[in-house]
Structure 1
Amino acid sequence: MFNAITDVSGIEVGQAENRDALTGCTVIICREGAVVGVDVRGSAPGTRETDLCRPATLVDKAQAILLAGGSAFGLNAAAGVMRYLWERGIGYDVGVTKVPIVPGAVIFDLPLGQVAWPDEAMGYQACQTAGTGEVAQGCVGAGTGASVGKLFGPGQATKSGLGTASIRVGKAIVGALIVVNAFGDVVRPQDNTILAGTRHPLTGRFVNTAREVQKGSGQSILGATNTTIGVVATDADLSVEQANHLAKLAHDGLARTIRPVHTLFDGDTLFALATGKVKGEWHGEILALAAATVDAVERAVLNAVEYATAAGGLPAGKAP
């Protein structure tokens, strides 16, 4: 096992980035399709095809999920993912052709590096690198321009990135891949230590963002400049309702590690994929799957900070 979302049977991950512009995209591919769910929190999401991920829709499977930088501009990278899958005959069969179902979400990384975003070509390039092996973490793919701790503006933030993790649950595996670009701090739940977040303008030390918000500190925040996005996946055979349940509970992993989370200035969005490779009735085991999902998200968020490196004038996520 790679301690990554690719430990889930049927899941591939591909990534591409522009290191000069500090933006990129990550694609999670399930070539045979996977039952999909979604849960959107916060008030500033940037998404596509999320309605199809909910119960009571005609389409219940996705062939890929796109995670990208570039704010709303970055959603265009999904066109490259669709083209890659279409060329290989992968998608929802509509008779005359197959239409790839590619939900997606983006982070706001425009202040870091150049004002640029992933495009169709980068989405296609990410697909070309997709595989089932080890997944690069930190400042790669959609995490290339990610940062956390924006209370005093982007200049006092800390570099973050992308993290992944997996946990075995009986015969099944649950994996998570998270891009951490939060307004709040990333905190180690075991001892409440801030690992990355808002830095004091004079000392460079971390301030407690949640506490400072309660005191009314911080500068005027301009628009929706944050969002944590990601995918949880399992090879258990789940229904659309159960996949959406996992997506909802996965946000508990964010709440454990990001403080504050789901704010007015975050558009936190998590997708869930169930490849169905491990057959059986999962009604009784859904509690175990849900608990493992929360733990996997927690570990993935912490890995996003642990593997991050300094970039764009921001230090890495290590306490000064």
Structure 2
Amino acid sequence: MAGIAASQVTGSSAESENHGCITDVGGIRVGHFTDSRRPTGCTVVIFDKPAVAGVDVRGSAPGTRETDLLRPVNTVQQVNAILLTGGSAFGLDAATGVMRYLEEHGMGFPVGPSVVPIVPAAVLFDLGIGDPKIRPNAKSGYAACEAASSSTVPEGNFGAGAGATVG
């Protein structure tokens, strides 16, 4: 499993109450997609303004996408969103949906007349629960973006954590 962290230099809204969650920081939205057919899904963290991010990849079989972009010597220094997804390596397809959503909203690294959304992603293995052919895909990632809000982020078994187990 890979751990991805991001920070953004903005303060939380003076009107909002601090709940101890990532959305207490202004300009951060979180959305989940949970597949009702089996416990799996994905969670997206969207930054309204590009955010500086870093990564520490660990585990015996990590699954990631675009985490190499986070090295300080690379051209891209900021991310537009971070995706956590179930479905093992197959779940990385959900990042395509996140990229499409962000592109449609003009969010990304400027490249000529277009933008390329920067969306590092990490997976967790949940294929051992239910039908392993059911896993997050591009539609799932897009749906998680549509569900993203700055509300307090609930905790529990949904989104990327729907099929999470320990041991």
What TM-score comes out, normalization by structure 1 length? Answer: 0.46
Unaligned runs of 5+ residues in structure 1 are 150-320
Q: Is 1:131 matched with 2:146? A: no
Matches within 5 A, 1:193-212: none
Work out the CA distance in 2 between the residues paired with 1:49 and 1:85: 16
Q: Is 1:111 matched with 2:135? A: no
Shift of residue 43 of structure 1? 2.4
Q: Is 1:121 matched with 2:139? A: yes
Aligned residue pair count: 149
Q: Is 1:20 matched with 2:33? A: no
Preserved contact between residue 33 and residue 63 of structure 1 (Cα < 8 Å): yes
Shift of residue 42 of structure 1? 2.1
Q: Report the 3-state secondary structure (helix = DSSP H, G, I; strand = E; otherwise coil) of the residue aligned with 2:45.
A: strand
Q: Report the 3-state secondary structure (helix = DSSP H, G, I; strand = E; otherwise coil) of the residue aligned with 1:148.
A: coil
Task: Tell me which amino acid in the other structure corresponds to 2:93.
Answer: N
Q: Partner of 2:48 in structure 1? A: 31
Instruction: Kindly name which structure, 1 or 2, has the bigger radius of gyration based on alpha carbons.
Output: 1
Identity %: 57
Preserved contact between residue 6 and residue 133 of structure 1 (Cα < 8 Å): yes
Q: Is 1:6 matched with 2:23? A: yes
Work out the CA distance in 1 between the residues paired with 2:95 and 2:151: 23
Kindly indicate whether structure 1 or structure 2 has the higher relative contact order, using CA contacts under 8 Å at least 6 residues apart: 2
The structure where helix makes up a greater share of residues is 1
Shift of residue 20 of structure 1? 2.2
Q: Partner of 2:64 in structure 1? A: 47
Shift of residue 96 of structure 1? 2.5
Work out the CA distance in 2 between the residues paired with 1:95 and 1:2: 40
Shift of residue 5 of structure 1? 1.1
Q: Partner of 1:141 in structure 2? A: 159
Preserved contact between residue 19 and residue 144 of structure 1 (Cα < 8 Å): no
Work out the CA distance in 1 between the residues paired with 2:106 and 2:92: 22
Preserved contact between residue 86 and residue 99 of structure 1 (Cα < 8 Å): yes
Q: Partner of 1:101 in structure 2? A: 118
Q: Partner of 1:64 in structure 2? A: 81
Q: Report the 3-state secondary structure (helix = DSSP H, G, I; strand = E; otherwise coil) of the residue aligned with 1:27.
A: strand
Q: Report the 3-state secondary structure (helix = DSSP H, G, I; strand = E; otherwise coil) of the residue aligned with 1:131.
A: coil
Shift of residue 31 of structure 1? 2.1
Runs of at least 4 residues of structure 1 off by over 6 A? none
Deviation per CA, 1:247-270, whole angstroms, max 9, x where unpaired? xxxxxxxxxxxxxxxxxxxxxxxx
Unaligned runs of 5+ residues in structure 2 are 1-17
Task: Tell me which amino acid in the other structure corresponds to 1:90.
Answer: M
